[in-house]
Amino acid sequence: MNVQWRQLDQPQEIAAPAAGLIRLSDARRGDRGVVIAVSPAGINGVGSAESEELERRLLEIGFVEGAKVEILHEGFIGRDPIAVRLDDMRVALRRREAQGVLITLSAE
Amino acid sequence: MNAPVPVRDLRLALVGNPNSGKTALFNALTGGRAKVANYAGVTVERKEGFLTSPAGRKVSVLDLPGTYSLRARSPDEEVTRDVVLGQRAGESPPDLLVCVADATNLRLVLRLILELKQTGQPAVLALNMIDIAQRQGIDIDIPALSRELGMPVVTTVATRKRGIEDLLAAIDTLADAKAEHGVSAWHAPSAKEIRDSHREAERIIKIAVLPPKRPDTWTGKIDDVLLHPVSGILILLAILFLMFQAVFSWATPAMDMISGAFEWLSAQVVHYVPDGMLQSLLANGVISGVGSVLVFLPQIMILFFFIILLEDFGYMARAAFLMDRIMGGAGLHGRAFIPLLSSFACAIPGIMSARVIDQKRDRLTTIMVAPLMTCSARIPVYTLIISAFIPRRQVWGFINLQGLVMLGLYVAGAVSALAVAFVFRKIFWRGAAEPFIMELPAYKMPDAKNVARNVLLRAQIFLNRAGTIILSMMVLIWFLSTVPFKPAGAPGPAIDYSFAGMIGHWLQPLLAPIGFNWQMAVALVPGMAAREVAVGALATVYAIGDGQPGQLATTLSNRWSLPTALSFLAWYIFAPQCASTLAVVKRETNAWRWPIIMFVYMIALAYIAALITFQVASRF
Ligand SMILES: Nc1nc2c(ncn2[C@@H]2O[C@H](COP(=O)(O)OP(=O)(O)OP(=O)(O)O)[C@@H](O)[C@H]2O)c(=O)[nH]1
């Protein structure tokens, strides 16, 4: 299933997470996966201008379809923010922003 | 007939991601001599240096702020964009871009380079940190990379000055070829275009870069400890605690030496210069005034040593991660941690580094609370009062009580900064939080030379300040507290008759409820120029008032009550006693409104805090 998803090149219009897909914001420490879509549109409390900006910000720092992610660390209050391994680099972000990234979890 | 070959001067600009080693490369190219100024109209620091290339060109190098994209969101990134596009008024466009890449982390910078290529500027790529890449066994096919990117590629180790000749040779070759500037086809990329450029960067990496054979496992292992919810926080607290204990214990010998030297100098003046105005000016005004401020140089250097060391190690981003939720609770961005931490050294660089925060509201809040962090200019004041009133002894066997009180003052500043930020957000803007997305760089062994250079740079800035503002304030205070002269045979100390005495006596009723005497009121007025000036002012006021220069701390402990001393400390946590900070806020926010609000709220807090402290302490 992973393999199949990784072929996916174009961003998909995904309104709600389909089966097997979760938002990066719902992932827990130790979870690994692959980015399937970066589309912050319609997530809680994010306006449309803001979501377009957030999409580009996420893309520029390397959250792009096909990138491998792993949750490395969680903050000590409310498990927020999270530190993520993103391909070869490490990125810290809040769960609020992480809602815009959809991933498939891969087996351990 | 050897006619000199006419060579055109060349302007370079260094562009790259944050942490790619631009500043190190800048220093390697220019020998570290930089002309630091501001860009016209904005306060983004403009750092320019010069060198002569092997072909004899006079080259100027511009260090641009780090960025992931030309699509600017912060004033810093706007400067980078405008300079690269040649759109900055009063700034001729660079002839050549030097793209600086961290060879161990190429993906994002390659995407940036693809964007830079659209501007049509000739460019060369410096693959920096190649030493680390080689250690990790990252195999980079330089010719392939160069071919795919369509620009010369040179490997460098900026901190060891390796590869600099190759880089200069490539620059000369490119300049000889008189590479023409193409027409800029750049526009702010859409989400789709960013995806496309990512795919292109990915393709190039597949062709030219083999993944590390010995990937850096240290960063992960260190993060397991430093980002751990329990050990991470404990270590952060321990680092801050160690930092402040060190500021107190390590600096003592150097401080004793400096104050000894100034006392000796003062004694020489008294010995050799005849009694009168000149002797008084030199001994009481200049030497004792400047000496009582310079004595804090060792502490300031130790504080900066820690900040720079942690920054170079890569810890600062981790601290931002750990602090984000706490900062976020106060409505601040995790990134505000770095400006606020710099504000421990001085609010001015702190306020200026708030530029890394993209969002205007977060940035304004950070600016408004930065002066509440305990800047090093408060150290002289705090140290003076602590050494005069807090006994030097150990509590629980190992903690220095004086250090503990100092830590308490720092905590009070930091906590009030968070509280004020919270209130600001509630009053001025109630919008949603801004995004917090930040790269966590790989840990690096700090480079001793780089750290030393930066600490010395900070010391130099402090000395320049001591040499200009503080010296002139000292002379002014000496004048205010000497003229008009005491009439012959009149009772009381001479300073009672001077201008300073008049101002002090006039202000004193206002300050009586918080326990300040008129000497303190006198010291507060010039203390507006800079906080540490108050120490020199007190020295001058008391030295002249007593007619004999003595140890200031001893004098104070005889003259002030404990409640007065504590009230003075409380005042100094909050008071906006720094005209340059207010001026910088005006410049950074481009409006008088913010410095005025800052002044009013800080002076109100100072008065209330001092009032409560004095009234409560007087009851015991
Ligand atoms: N081993 C090694 N370390 C380097 C090299 N170049 C820079 N560094 C280190 O990398 C760190 C970051 O370098 P800077 O020069 O501050 O990076 P920068 O791009 O100016 O960073 P920003 O100012 O944040 O944009 C410093 O600790 C340097 O000592 C290199 O070639 N090899």
Ligand 1 neighbourhood includes B158 CB (under 6 angstroms)? yes
At A7-21, the pLDDT tens digits run 344 444 444 445 578
Cα B164 to Cα B135, B326, B554: the distances in Å are 20, 44, 56
For B:252-271, CB contacts with A below 8 A are none
Share of chain A above pLDDT 70, in %: 75
pLDDT of amino acid B485: 78
Give the Cβ contact number of residue B398 at 10 Å: 7
**Residue A1, C-beta contacts closer than 8 angstroms, at least 6 positions apart:** A20, A104
pLDDT of amino acid B395: 76
Q: How many residues does chain B have?
A: 620
pLDDT of amino acid B170: 95
User: Is residue B481 within 8 Å of B540, Cβ to Cβ?
Assistant: yes
Cβ pair A81:B68 closer than 8 A:
no
| DSSP H or E run through A102 | strand A101-105
Ligand 1 centroid to residue B24 C-alpha, Å: 5
**Residue B357, C-beta contacts closer than 8 angstroms, at least 6 positions apart:** B74, B333, B335, B336, B339, B363, B366, B434
Of all protein residues, whose CA lies closest to atom 21 belonging to ligand 1? B19
Cβ pair B69:A60 closer than 8 A:
yes
Ligand 1 neighbourhood includes B155 CB (under 6 angstroms)? no
Long-range contacts of B379-383 (CB under 8 A, 24+ apart): B379/B247, B379/B296, B379/B299, B379/B300, B379/B532, B380/B292, B380/B293, B380/B295, B380/B296, B380/B531, B380/B532, B380/B535, B381/B531, B381/B532, B381/B534, B381/B535, B381/B568, B381/B572, B382/B406, B382/B409, B382/B569, B382/B572, B383/B296, B383/B299
Containing structural domain, residue A38: 3-105
B228: chain A residues, CB-CB within 8 Å: 73
Of all protein residues, whose CA lies closest to atom 26 belonging to ligand 1? B312
Query: Is any Cβ of chain A less than 8 angstroms from the Cβ of B322?
Result: yes
User: Is residue B14 within 8 Å of B22, Cβ to Cβ?
Assistant: yes
State which amino acid sits at residue B16: G
Task: Look up residue B392 and give its DSSP letter.
Answer: -
Rounded Cα distance between B404 and B401, Å, is 5
Cα A49 to Cα A40, A56, B73: the distances in Å are 11, 11, 14
Taking 80 as the threshold, does the pLDDT of residue A70 lie above it? yes
Structural domains of chain A, count: 1
pLDDT of amino acid B128: 96
Query: Is any Cβ of chain A less than 8 angstroms from the Cβ of B138?
Result: no
For B:149-188, CB contacts with A below 8 A are none
pLDDT of amino acid B311: 84
Closest CA–CA distance from residue A50 to any residue of chain B (Å): 10
Cβ pair B325:A80 closer than 8 A:
yes
B442: chain A residues, CB-CB within 8 Å: 90
Tell me the sheet residues that pair with B10.
Answer: B59
3-class SS of residue A61: coil
Nearest to A90 among B189, B324, B440 (CB): B440
Rounded Cα distance between B390 and B101, Å, is 52
The CATH number of the domain holding residue A43 is: 2.30.30.90
Burial class (CB in 10 A: 0-12, 13-18, 19+), B502: middle
At B6-52, the pLDDT tens digits run 455 899 999 999 889 998 899 899 987 766 655 555 545 678 889 99
User: Which numbered atom of ligand 1 lies nearest the CA of B66?
Assistant: 25
pLDDT of amino acid B602: 95
Nearest to B440 among A38, A77, A92 (CB): A92
ipTM confidence score = 0.82
Ligand 1 neighbourhood includes B570 CB (under 6 angstroms)? no
Interface A-B, measured as beta-carbon pairs within 8 A, has a size of 122
pLDDT of amino acid B37: 57
Ligand 1 neighbourhood includes B324 CB (under 6 angstroms)? no
| DSSP H or E run through B13 | strand B10-16
CATH of B10-210, one of 3.40.50.300, 3.50.50.60, 3.30.1330.40, 3.40.190.10: 3.40.50.300
Give the Cβ contact number of residue B278 at 10 Å: 11
For B:528-587, CB contacts with A below 8 A are none
pLDDT of amino acid A28: 92
Q: In this structure, what are the phi and psi dihedrals at residue B284, rounded to the nearest 5 degrees? A: -90, -35
Cβ pair A97:B233 closer than 8 A:
no
Cβ pair B233:A73 closer than 8 A:
no
Give which of B512, B532, B528, B523 is closest to B480, Cα–Cα.
Answer: B523
List, in sequence order, every beta strand (DSSP E) within B289-429: 394-395, 399-400
pLDDT of amino acid A80: 87
Q: Which residues of chain B have pLDDT under 50?
A: 1, 3, 5-6, 43, 547-550
Give which of B227, B296, B233, B212 is closest to B262, Cα–Cα.
Answer: B296
User: Which numbered atom of ligand 1 lies nearest the CA of B450?
Assistant: 29
Cα A54 to Cα A100, A107, B331: the distances in Å are 8, 29, 19
Which chain A residue has the Cα nearest residue B112? Answer: A60
**Residue B527, C-beta contacts closer than 8 angstroms, at least 6 positions apart:** B533, B534, B537, B577
pLDDT of amino acid A1: 37
Long-range contacts of B479-486 (CB under 8 A, 24+ apart): B479/B285, B480/B522, B480/B526, B481/B522, B481/B540, B481/B541, B481/B544, B482/B277, B482/B280, B482/B281, B482/B544
For B:208-247, CB contacts with A below 8 A are 211, 215, 219-220, 223-224, 227-230, 232-233
Ligand 1 neighbourhood includes B400 CB (under 6 angstroms)? no
Give which of B201, B187, B174, B172 is closest to B113, Cα–Cα.
Answer: B201
Give the Cβ contact number of residue B252 at 10 Å: 11
Cβ pair A97:B71 closer than 8 A:
no
Q: Which of B15, B23, B138, B312 most suits a substitution to test ligand 1, by most atoms within 8 Å of the C-beta? A: B23
Cβ pair B229:A92 closer than 8 A:
no
Rounded Cα distance between B347 and B341, Å, is 9
User: Is residue B328 within 8 Å of B354, Cβ to Cβ?
Assistant: no
Sketch the domain layout of chain B as residue ranges.
Answer: 10-210, 457-617
At B426-446, the pLDDT tens digits run 887 766 556 788 899 999 899
Ligand 1 centroid to residue B152 C-alpha, Å: 21
List, in sequence order, every beta strand (DSSP E) within B58-122: 58-63, 96-102
User: Which numbered atom of ligand 1 lies nearest the CA of B24?
Assistant: 15
Nearest to B440 among A46, A62, A83 (CB): A83
What order of strands is seen across the sheet that includes strand B45-52?
B34-38, B45-52, B58-63, B10-16, B96-102, B123-128, B153-155
Rounded Cα distance between B346 and B374, Å, is 8
List, in sequence order, every beta strand (DSSP E) within B41-95: 45-52, 58-63
Cβ pair A61:B107 closer than 8 A:
no
Distance, C-alpha B476 to centroid of its chain: 28
User: Is residue B390 within 8 Å of B301, Cβ to Cβ?
Assistant: no
